[in-house]
A and B are shown apart, each in its own frame.
Chain A
Amino acid sequence: MVSRAAPSGVVARVTLATIVLAPESLTRYAIGRTVETRFGAASGVLRTRLQHAYDLVPKLLDAELIRVVGTAPTRPGKEPTRLYAATQAGVADWREWLAGPITMPDAMTRALSRLYAVRRGDYATMLAIIDRYEATLQAVVQQATDPGDPADVADRIGLLWNKRELVAQLQWCQHARDVIYEELSGREPR
């Protein structure tokens, strides 16, 4: 069988991460449900629903990033449902994604989705993700050109919004780092 190209997009990446991080093999429905719970409605990191991840499972299988490792019984009279686990290539793909660049636009989504897809307790990887996100934001400030003083008041207010948004995201990097440092030092994060 010839492997097809891996599906692109952040939901595909977090779907693969969910399979990699699962302590045991998962059904297609369980994969969709887990992605929706961790990344979708509850945390609000991504706008995704069960069906999206459910539809991506065959594509990840075609790309040989996951494989079928067995079956689980379903209702009487129904075919047993397949169980999926990550392949070596899938694990490598997940690691590469975690270490990949965090670019604009939607850098916040890219950073947050990666933080949620890190193995529990892997603080070094989490700090590296925050550092890369922060570097992207810093580059945005450096590469920006001075708009001067626009004559339109709405433009001036809009520029103010852009700046406060950027500052808030940079502050988030500092606070996120503090939470991890507190966790590393064994204290309860405030």
Chain B
Amino acid sequence: MTLLALSGVSLRYPTVTALSDVSLEVVAGELVVVWGPARSGRTTLLEVAAGLRKPDSGTVAFAGRSPRASLGRHEGFAVVPSAEAALLGAEKLVIDQVAFPALRVMSRWRAQAAADAALRRCGVADLGQTPMTALSHAERIRVVLARALVREPLLVLMDEPTAGLSHTEAERFLKLVQSLVRDGIAVLMTDDAEGSALVPGARVLTMQRGTLRGASPSPPAEVIPLEQRRAEPGA
């Protein structure tokens, strides 16, 4: 099932073309990594995909609708910006940060329970009562991811989540991302020029000078039951 679909999207800033006729589809349960050199248009691509920036031309849709209608909604999609940009207030506790997106639609008690589950999912269950200021960079990006997961999105957009992490920390974080994908959550993430997020099984797309290059999606082959294969060998 196609979740996110960009078709012929172009966007130009005053001095540079950020996106040039970009088309991209992300299907359910898929990990897509967009990487490339600095100032290639990766962050702009995520902003346009999330409906946060309007393209000059082309269309963007999430599950066939405008992305703004699904951003941050249950079974919609979530955005994980860089860790610093996601802070609500440095003095707040982690549990309050993570529960915040759920408070609009459920009771405080239920929102905190959902936040607890998201923190467990991201391997930082013991940080709930810690102030945001006390977190390391590696912990903070996990907390920001937990906040994105609290509304149970079908797709998560992440902007260079491994930037600033050590190699070991980045590897651990990418294992977490892969586990989300195994659980059926689609992930579209950008990566810096070091390519640390090029993990096995990811669909890799190169962004350069506003142009997106990459292999077309290859959905897994249809599973044919053993009885059918025995009945129709070679079919």
A3 interfacial contact with B, CB 8 Å: no
A128 to chain B, nearest CB (A): 11
Residue among B194, B195, B200 with max Cβ neighbours from chain A (10 Å): B200
User: Which B residues are in CB contact (< 8 Å) with A167?
Assistant: 194-195, 198
A145 interfacial contact with B, CB 8 Å: yes
Given A134-B213, A135-B215, A138-B214, verify A174-B208 contact (CB < 8 Å). yes
Bound CA–CA A129/B18 (angstroms): 24
B164 to chain A, nearest CB (A): 18
User: Which A residues are in CB contact (< 8 Å) with B209?
Assistant: 181
Given A171-B193, A174-B36, verify A144-B206 contact (CB < 8 Å). no
User: Which B residues are in CB contact (< 8 Å) with A170?
Assistant: 35, 195, 198, 204, 206
User: Which B residues are in CB contact (< 8 Å) with A93?
Assistant: none
B203 interfacial contact with A, CB 8 Å: yes
A-B contacts, CB under 8 A, total: 58
User: Which B residues are in CB contact (< 8 Å) with A163?
Assistant: 198
B218 interfacial contact with A, CB 8 Å: yes
Q: Mark B166-204, 1 if CB is under 8 A from A, else 0.
A: 000000000000100000000000000111001111111
Contact yes or no, A142 B195, CB < 8 A: no
A1 interfacial contact with B, CB 8 Å: no
Number of interface residues of A (CB under 8 A): 22
User: Which B residues are in CB contact (< 8 Å) with A145?
Assistant: 200-201
Q: Mark B70-108, 1 if CB is under 8 A from A, else 0.
A: 000000000000000000000000000000000000000
Q: Which of B194, B198, B208, B213 contacts A141 (CB 8 A)?
A: B198
Beyond A167-B194, A178-B208, 18 additional pairs, beta carbon < 8 A:
A131-B213, A134-B213, A138-B203, A138-B205, A138-B215, A141-B201, A142-B201, A142-B215, A144-B200, A145-B201, A146-B178, A146-B201, A167-B195, A167-B198, A170-B35, A170-B195, A171-B193, A174-B206
A residues adjacent to B (C-beta < 8 A): 131, 134-135, 137-139, 141-142, 144-147, 163, 166-167, 170-171, 173-174, 177-178, 181
